[in-house]
């Protein structure tokens, strides 16, 4: 019973997205106070000060002391303050009501909680505990993600919890786990400055993590060469030293070919490989199958450029490699990420100043959100839910019997397949907008239709929450406190600037209110985020992601703490209240509780793993029927599914609607001119957008940004193929065809650009 | 209070990524709340993602002020060319077409020209201008000359420009290669330049087009 | 003295003498001149001299001279004149009298300015003719309850001393000062609260004028209070104090912010020049070929720039023929070109 209660346009009329009427503060508005906190958007987590007057955020002031961004902000950060005091803000619980003009009717919060609890209890009674699924998100504070994992397993006793990091961080996470035994960027970003070569693999840094740009340019000023691998000439690629215009979906081949060249020329660190790694020979053998001519042919990167890349990378003394969704959003995502790690391990340039490897996380808590148990196979402290020892420890912290703890669940997409199959009857979702963000999203909408109970916790009525039976009014980032872990692995503190308006509640209170209403309050009675964090410290203790030495005070004092941060010395067990954290991993004299002195890496033998990073063709690759590569991504002024940024006027004005980017040679062939309406079609569906004809994209590829819903959403087109290990969807490539549209689509006259 | 003399503006358009953080932040400044005074434009989006941020360069002998029939534009003692004085500006637009850098903007309905005043509300109390504070690529940098030189060993600031036969010196600097510092930046010499697809330092390919071999 | 200053001095003397002659005529050879106001009279004469001098100097600046001539020429062009007269009337009412452009800049500032402007205008309209002896009142012979108003010595009408009209007319300055005081308070409120205004305001330029207006209004009101309710308590002291505030303001008119009162009508002239420019040819940018400004404006600006000593001549033309957007692009292209040239040597294997 979760089809839209009324017509989508009617819901939009009532709940937006509308633009914030407040486009600017007055010049006489004086803030009562400045609250030092962090931006609510991406994984860079820039420090920012919010200007607060009464219970309203009225502006921002740069926070120049915070070391990561020193006052720098992207346009989203600058205008993020406009999301508060918004007319679309949900101030009450809502109950689906086809009789109401907007499809939803306000209901008292307590009644909503009781109703939801009753329904959950009923479904679990009739269909078993596993009939309820929970979806979380990586923009939640670590405290909330921890609580959500505990809620699913202890209170709901369901194995079915997963999160939207499944769309984001899992390929990198799985690769890191396989290669290093730990999942974190190895060095602070400041280590980039002074390095000789930087390799940016599949990251539109300028638009997706703008603050990182300054680190790269700063490194360039200090002499670094910059290699960028991307099918589009992004701003960072425009002025890089070496551009590798890779054909979408061929990254693992590129890495294999380049590593093959390096091996051939002896540009590898044999000593490091022998002492600190295992598995090199198999990788070397695999690379032999990628002679450079074949690599060039498959990847579409000219041979000379590949040779130059191998030489630059191979002969450097120091280097930094990072990648992002460009190589991770593939059914081959883990292999792609492993390919980069092989390039790093072969040179031995890891675990020292000016040499590192990292993945640029996407969401606010892309790092912390993947560590403490909202993943289907994971328990707090980056523990494994299938590991008996790990299970016992967490069961003891949670004060339950180990057998009561459910086993591993399924990934977020699989969870929808289970909904579709009728196995999961009820769903609680927070911080996740799959109707926009998952591939083949019309399937997602159909799956939601089959739920008997869909509860969304949200602050705006997101495109997914429109399908809900009950919407519980949650909190904006500035209405709650807690920690997040940013791109470098630095745990930082989000500070509360204002109180929740109306009947809205902080998310952790809502979750606990549900537990209480279910009459299962065990372990769900925290009085503050800090109390949750204190338990999280214990729960993470001894895990790889060990937060036990981190306190709110230490975060304030140090302006962030890099995990692992131990409360007890892993060698001696002596208390270490002053442990400063671990800014750099894998340093020569480092000790970790997994290797126990055997080596630097987080395996019992202390050695890093080479993994054969196999190139496999993309699912639904370009074909004779669908001959053009479709790739998707972001623009700088929007964030993820746009629930927040499509409500902020100045950001909407910057890039109002998605456009289909294509090369003039392709446009000529298709008879499409700049500004024409063009239809892009795959076996899943078709959408019509305005064409943007530019020479900055491969002529065999088209690009569409994904921040918009419905008929503007490229995820109507993308394929629900997933990586077999990480289960990340393959957003970055599939075959499509494009034609000039006869006329404008219906939305052009019906909807505002942001809707 | 005047803007401290040792604090200078350093612009490096080659760093710019076109994110518009500067434009968005500019609208937050109190002397021109709601309007962005900085310009950020694609040079030629069809062929390049190259963008150019342009702030007022604060000329030592401002053409805009000299050609103003209403005496509305004043350069304060700290070298900042202020936005038009509201009682005087008659919105004739002379400054808009005369400024060699293309900075001033006319708001005809309000009969006023407005331009970048280096965030006077901030710089006059020792803060950085909003745009240079937030700029994620630091294409816009505000600080001392010593800081700029230390942070940018490959770059050198210059503040002399040529437009045809006219030399203009400014309070704001642009960054040029330190390996070959020109006596001035010859702006009109760029009349035939095209937006570059890539400003690569290591030309590996014969063609400037990295997609030359890609079949459609 | 430089030639412009000589010319300006000549104009200034001529205007001051002209005003003197009008005072003699209007007061019938000082027959109706109020000797108590002689200080004010001299202050106005000096202000006339100063304002004319500054105005004449201003008009001789190349851009102003160009606009002055072009504005008048555009206005008086025979074919456009009838339309221009209509537009003039409309713009004078909408922009000048009703301050529409200021209201658009900021509503509150518009209201503030309207109060100040109309208060000052009303006060000036009452006091200047009195000071110059152009208006005086006499009791109608035989009717002690009737006043007769004289303009330039000619009787213009009678009215009863106790009538409402008389009350309104004789308290005109009270109403004026109340308008001005309200405006001054609003202006001060903004200057104290608005951080943007705070950043750029200067005492002499922005605050002092408000102080002067406040001082004139307050001392003027105190005069009224003194003779109305306090039986003339401290009247002569207050009269001197009021005279000082007024005279200082008058003497300061040519130098400070108040000079915009005389400059501002140039806005109307500019309007006609722009109308004419919009009807004429448009200059096309040498780089992007898009029209960007009236061709005449560009031609005139080139003349003005040459008069000012700028040398924007470039190969095959003038930099003024490049549009602002292309100027910004050129700035980036020129800087970018420095970084890419000279081209680094090609790589060995490349």
Residue of A nearest to C191 (CA): A28
> What gap in Å lies between CA C174 and CA C122, rounded to an integer?
10
Q: pLDDT-derived band of residue C346, with 50, 70 and 90 as boundaries?
A: very low
Residue B197 has pLDDT above 70, yes or no: no
| B199 falls within a domain | no
User: Could you tell me if A709 and A676 are in contact, meaning their C-beta atoms sit under 8 angstroms apart?
Assistant: no
* Ranges of each domain in chain A: 19-83, 93-168+366-540, 170-359, 628-750
User: Is B30 within 8 Å of C195 when comparing Cβ atoms?
Assistant: yes
Task: With H, G, I as helix, E, B as strand and everything else as coil, classify residue A227.
Answer: strand
Task: Please state the three-class secondary structure of B142-193 as a single string.
Answer: EEEHHHHHHHCCCEEEEEEEEECCEEEEEEEEEEEEHHHCCCCEECHHHHHC
| B200 falls within a domain | no
Task: Residue C109: list chain A partners with CB under 8 A.
Answer: none
pLDDT at C145: 85
Residue C1 has pLDDT above 80, yes or no: no
Residue C347 has pLDDT above 50, yes or no: no
Q: pLDDT-derived band of residue C141, with 50, 70 and 90 as boundaries?
A: confident
Residue of B nearest to A228 (CA): B200
| B216 falls within a domain | no
- Report the DSSP beta bridge partners of residue B155: B177
Sign of the alpha-carbon torsion through C330, C334, C339, C341: positive
At CA A388, angle to CA A604 and CA A379, rounded to 5?
Answer: 85
To test the contact with chain C by mutation, choose from B16, B98, B200, B205 the residue with the greatest count of C C-beta atoms within 10 A, namely B98
| B205 falls within a domain | no
User: Is A666 within 8 Å of B216 when comparing Cβ atoms?
Assistant: yes
Total length of chain C: 350
Residue of B nearest to C350 (CA): B204
Name residues whose C-beta falls within 8 Å of residue A312's C-beta, 6 or more positions apart in sequence.
Answer: A197, A225, A227, A241, A242
pLDDT at C344: 45
- Compute the average pLDDT of residues C94-111: 93
Top-tier CATH class for A19-83:
alpha beta
Total beta-carbon pairs less than 8 A apart between chain A and chain B = 175
> What gap in Å lies between CA A387 and CA A377, rounded to an integer?
10
Top-tier CATH class for A170-359:
alpha beta
Sign of the alpha-carbon torsion through C115, C120, C125, C127: positive
Whole-structure pTM over 0.90, yes or no?
yes
- Asked if the C-beta of C200 comes within 8 angstroms of chain B's C-beta atoms, the answer is yes
> What gap in Å lies between CA A494 and CA A193, rounded to an integer?
27
- CB-based burial, B163-184: b 16+ in 10 Å, e otherwise: bbebebebbbbbbbbeeeeeeb
- Residue among A394, A380, A328, A384 nearest A730 (CA): A328
> What gap in Å lies between CA A507 and CA A454, rounded to an integer?
17
- Asked if the C-beta of C195 comes within 8 angstroms of chain B's C-beta atoms, the answer is yes
Total beta-carbon pairs less than 8 A apart between chain A and chain C = 16
User: Is A239 within 8 Å of B204 when comparing Cβ atoms?
Assistant: no
Nearest chain A Cα distance for residue C340, angstroms: 10
> What gap in Å lies between CA B15 and CA B13, rounded to an integer?
5
> What gap in Å lies between CA A148 and CA A374, rounded to an integer?
6
> What gap in Å lies between CA A263 and CA C280, rounded to an integer?
71
From the list C63, C327, C346, which residue is nearest B67 (CB)? C63
Q: What domain count does chain B have?
A: 1
Residue of A nearest to C344 (CA): A241
User: Is C336 within 8 Å of B13 when comparing Cβ atoms?
Assistant: yes
User: Is B112 within 8 Å of C105 when comparing Cβ atoms?
Assistant: yes
User: Is B51 within 8 Å of A235 when comparing Cβ atoms?
Assistant: yes
- CB-based burial, A306-332: b 16+ in 10 Å, e otherwise: bbbbbbbbbebebbbbbbbbbbbbbbb
User: Is C328 within 8 Å of B102 when comparing Cβ atoms?
Assistant: yes
pLDDT at C34: 86
Report residue A304: phi and psi, to 5°: -65, -35
Q: Which chains touch A (3 or more CB pairs under 8 A)?
A: B, C
Task: Residue B97: list chain C partners with CB under 8 A.
Answer: 292-293, 297-298, 301, 320, 324
How far CA C47 is from CA of A264, C51, C251, in Å, comes to: 91, 6, 5
From the list A28, A30, A308, which residue is nearest C347 (CB)? A308
| B87 falls within a domain | yes
* CATH number attached to the domain at A93-168+366-540: 3.40.50.740
Q: Which domain holds residue B11?
A: 7-192
To test the contact with chain A by mutation, choose from C106, C196, C347 the residue with the greatest count of A C-beta atoms within 10 A, namely C347
How far CA A412 is from CA of A387, A462, A715, A717, A728, in Å, comes to: 21, 18, 16, 19, 9
Task: Residue A30: list chain C partners with CB under 8 A.
Answer: 193
Q: pLDDT-derived band of residue B131, with 50, 70 and 90 as boundaries?
A: very high
CATH number at residue B85: 3.30.70.20
User: Is A75 within 8 Å of B201 when comparing Cβ atoms?
Assistant: no
In this chain, the answer to whether the domains covering A93-168+366-540 and A170-359 adopt an identical fold is no
- Which helix (DSSP H) or strand (DSSP E) does residue C200 occupy? helix C195-200
Nearest chain A Cα distance for residue C350, angstroms: 6
Task: Residue A307: list chain C partners with CB under 8 A.
Answer: 349
pLDDT < 70 positions in chain A: 1-2, 22-26
Neighbouring C-beta atoms of residue C159, cutoff 10 Å:
17
How far CA B208 is from CA of A13, A244, A296, B204, C7, in Å, comes to: 49, 13, 18, 9, 63
B 121-140 near C (Cβ less than 8 A): 121, 124-125
From the list A27, A307, A308, which residue is nearest C194 (CB)? A27
User: Could you tell me if A229 and A244 are in contact, meaning their C-beta atoms sit under 8 angstroms apart?
Assistant: yes
How far CA B15 is from CA of A206, A375, A539, in Å, comes to: 10, 39, 45
* CATH number attached to the domain at A628-750: 2.40.40.20
Task: Residue C286: list chain B partners with CB under 8 A.
Answer: 191
- Compute the average pLDDT of residues C106-113: 94
User: Is A233 within 8 Å of B27 when comparing Cβ atoms?
Assistant: no
Would you give the distance in Å from CA A253 to the centre of its chain? Answer: 25
pLDDT at A315: 97
Would you give the distance in Å from CA C339 to the centre of its chain? Answer: 50
- Compute the average pLDDT of residues C25-39: 88
Q: Percentage of chain C with pLDDT > 90?
A: 71
Q: What is the pLDDT of residues A598-628, one digit of tens each?
A: 999 999 999 999 999 999 999 999 999 999 9
pLDDT at B205: 74
């Amino acid at each position: 019973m979760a089809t839209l209660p009324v017509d989508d346009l009617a819901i939009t009329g009532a709940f937006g997205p509308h633009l914030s009427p407040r486009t600017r503060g007055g010049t006489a508005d004086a803030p009562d106070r400045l609250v030092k906190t962090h931006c609510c958007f991406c994984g860079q987590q820039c420090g920012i000060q919010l200007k607060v007057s009464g219970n309203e955020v009225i502006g921002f002031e740069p926070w120049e002391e915070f070391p990561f961004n020193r006052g720098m902000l992207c346009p989203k950060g600058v205008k993020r303050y406009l999301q508060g005091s918004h007319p679309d803000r949900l101030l009450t619980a809502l109950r689906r009501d086809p009789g109401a003009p907007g499809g939803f009717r306000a209901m008292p919060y307590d009644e909503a909680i009781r109703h939801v609890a009753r329904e959950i209890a009923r479904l679990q009674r009739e269909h078993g505990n596993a009939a309820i699924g929970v979806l979380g998100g990586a923009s939640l504070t670590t405290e909330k993600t921890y609580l959500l994992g505990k809620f699913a397993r202890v209170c709901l006793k369901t194995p079915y919890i997963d999160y939207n990091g499944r769309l984001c961080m899992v390929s990198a996470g799985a690769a890191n786990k396989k290669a290093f035994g730990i999942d974190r960027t190895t060095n602070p970003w400041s280590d980039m400055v002074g390095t000789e070569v930087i390799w940016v693999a599949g990251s539109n840094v300028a638009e997706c993590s703008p603050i990182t740009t300054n680190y790269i340019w700063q490194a360039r000023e200090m002499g670094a060469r910059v290699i960028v691998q991307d099918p589009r000439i992004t701003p960072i690629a425009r002025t890089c030293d070496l551009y590798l215009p890779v054909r979408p979906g061929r990254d693992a081949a590129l890495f294999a070919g380049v590593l093959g060249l390096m091996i051939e020329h002896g540009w590898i660190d044999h000593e490091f490989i022998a002492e600190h790694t295992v598995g090199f020979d198999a990788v070397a053998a695999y690379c032999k199958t990628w002679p450079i001519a074949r690599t060039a042919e498959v990847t579409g990167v000219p041979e000379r450029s590949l040779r130059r890349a191998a030489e630059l990378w191979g002969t450097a003394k120091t280097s930094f490699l990072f990648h992002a969704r460009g190589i991770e959003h593939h059914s081959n995502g883990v292999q792609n990420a492993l390919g980069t790690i092989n390039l790093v391990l072969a040179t031995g340039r890891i675990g020292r100043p000016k040499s590192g490897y990292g993945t640029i996380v996407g969401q606010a808590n892309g790092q912390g959100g993947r560590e403490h148990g909202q993943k289907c196979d994971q328990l707090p402290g980056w523990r494994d839910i299938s590991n008996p020892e790990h299970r016992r420890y967490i069961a003891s912290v949670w004060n339950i019997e180990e057998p009561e703890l459910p086993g591993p669940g399924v990934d977020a997409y699989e969870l929808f397949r289970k909904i579709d199959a009728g196995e999961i009857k009820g769903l609680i979702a927070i911080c996740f907008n799959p109707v926009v963000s998952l591939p083949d999203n019309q399937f997602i909408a159909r799956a939601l239709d089959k739920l008997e109970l869909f509860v969304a916790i949200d602050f705006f009525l997101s495109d997914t929450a429109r399908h809900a039976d009950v919407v519980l009014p949650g909190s904006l980032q500035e209405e709650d406190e807690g920690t997040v872990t940013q791109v470098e692995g630095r745990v930082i503190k989000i500070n509360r600037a204002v109180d929740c308006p109306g009947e809205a509640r902080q998310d952790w209170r809502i979750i606990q209110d549900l537990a209480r209403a279910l009459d299962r309050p065990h372990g769900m009675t925290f009085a503050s985020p800090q109390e949750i964090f204190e338990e999280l410290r214990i729960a993470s203790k001894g895990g790889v992601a060990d937060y036990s030495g981190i306190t709110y005070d230490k975060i304030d004092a140090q302006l962030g703490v890099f995990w692992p941060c131990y409360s007890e010395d892993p060698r001696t067990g002596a208390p270490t209240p002053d442990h400063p954290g671990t800014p750099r991993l894998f340093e020569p004299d480092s000790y970790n509780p997994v290797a126990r002195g055997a080596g630097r890496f987080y395996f019992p033998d202390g050695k890093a793993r080479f993994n054969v990073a196999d190139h496999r063709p993309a699912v639904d690759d370009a074909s004779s029927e669908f001959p053009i590569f479709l790739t998707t991504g972001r623009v700088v002024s929007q964030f993820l599914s746009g629930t927040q940024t499509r409500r902020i006027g100045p950001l909407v004005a910057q890039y109002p609607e998605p456009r289909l980017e294509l090369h003039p040679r392709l446009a000529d062939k298709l008879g499409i001119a700049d500004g024409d309406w063009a239809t892009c079609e795959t076996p899943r569906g078709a959408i019509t957008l305005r064409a943007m004809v530019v020479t900055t994209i491969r002529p065999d590829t088209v690009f569409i940004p994904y921040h918009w819903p419905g008929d503007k959403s490229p995820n109507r087109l993308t394929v629900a193929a997933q990586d077999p290990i990480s289960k990340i969807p393959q957003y970055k490539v599939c075959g499509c065809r494009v034609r000039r549209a006869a006329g404008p689509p219906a939305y052009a006259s019906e909807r505002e650009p942001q809707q | 209070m005047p803007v401290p003399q040792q604090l200078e503006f350093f612009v490096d358009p080659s760093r710019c990524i076109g994110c518009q953080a500067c434009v968005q932040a500019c609208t937050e400044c109190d002397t021109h709340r709601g309007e962005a005074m900085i310009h950020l434009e694609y040079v030629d989006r069809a062929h390049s993602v190259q963008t150019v941020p342009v702030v007022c360069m604060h000329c030592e002998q401002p053409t805009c002020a000299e050609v103003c029939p209403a005496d509305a534009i004043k350069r304060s003692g700290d070298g900042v060319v202020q936005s038009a004085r509201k009682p005087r500006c008659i919105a004739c637009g002379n400054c808009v077409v005369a400024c060699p850098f293309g900075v001033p903007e006319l708001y005809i309905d309000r009969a006023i020209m407005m331009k970048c005043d280096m965030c006077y509300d901030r710089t006059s109390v020792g803060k950085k201008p909003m745009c240079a504070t937030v700029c994620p690529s630091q294409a816009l940098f505000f600080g001392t000359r010593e800081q700029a030189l230390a942070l940018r060993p490959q770059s050198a600031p210059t503040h002399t420009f040529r437009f045809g036969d006219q030399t203009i010196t400014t309070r704001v600097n642009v960054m040029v290669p330190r390996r070959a510092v020109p006596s001035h930046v010859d702006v009109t010499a760029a009349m035939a330049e095209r937006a570059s697809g890539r400003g690569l330092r290591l030309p590996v390919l014969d063609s400037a087009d990295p997609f030359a071999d890609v079949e459609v | 003295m430089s030639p412009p200053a000589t010319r300006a001095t000549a104009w200034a003397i001529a205007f001051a003498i002209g005003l003197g002659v009008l005072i003699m005529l209007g007061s019938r050879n000082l027959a109706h001149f109020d000797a108590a106001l002689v200080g004010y009279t001299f202050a106005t004469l000096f202000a006339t001299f100063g304002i004319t001098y500054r105005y004449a100097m201003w008009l001789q600046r190349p851009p102003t001279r160009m606009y002055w001539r072009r504005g008048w020429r555009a206005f008086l062009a025979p074919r456009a004149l009838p339309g221009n007269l209509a537009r003039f009337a409309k713009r004078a009412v909408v922009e000048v009298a009703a301050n529409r452009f200021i209201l658009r800049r900021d509503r509150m500032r518009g209201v503030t300015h309207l109060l100040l402007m109309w208060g000052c205008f009303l006060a000036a309209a009452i006091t200047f003719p009195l000071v110059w002896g152009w208006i005086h009142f006499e009791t109608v012979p035989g009717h002690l309850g009737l006043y007769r108003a004289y303009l330039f010595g000619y009787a213009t009408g009678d009215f009863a001393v106790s009538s409402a009209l008389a009350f309104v007319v004789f308290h005109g300055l009270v109403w004026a000062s109340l308008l001005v005081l309200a405006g001054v308070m609003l202006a001060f409120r903004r200057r104290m609260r608005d951080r943007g205004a705070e950043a750029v305001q200067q005492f002499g330029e922005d605050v002092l004028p408000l102080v002067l207006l406040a001082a004139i209004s307050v001392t003027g009101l105190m005069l009224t209070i003194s003779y109305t309710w306090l039986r003339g308590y401290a009247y002569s002291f207050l009269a001197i104090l009021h005279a000082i505030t007024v005279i200082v303001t008058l003497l300061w008119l040519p130098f400070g912010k108040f000079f915009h009162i005389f400059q501002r009508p140039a806005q109307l002239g500019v309007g006609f020049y722009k109308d004419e420019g919009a009807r004429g040819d448009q200059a096309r940018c040498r780089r992007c070929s898009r029209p960007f400004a009236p061709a005449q404006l560009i031609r005139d600006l080139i003349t003005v720039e040459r008069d000012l000593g700028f040398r924007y001549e470039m190969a095959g033309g003038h930099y003024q023929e490049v549009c602002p957007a292309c100027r910004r692009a050129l700035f980036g292209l020129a800087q970018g070109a420095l970084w890419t040239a000279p081209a680094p040597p090609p790589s060995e294997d490349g």
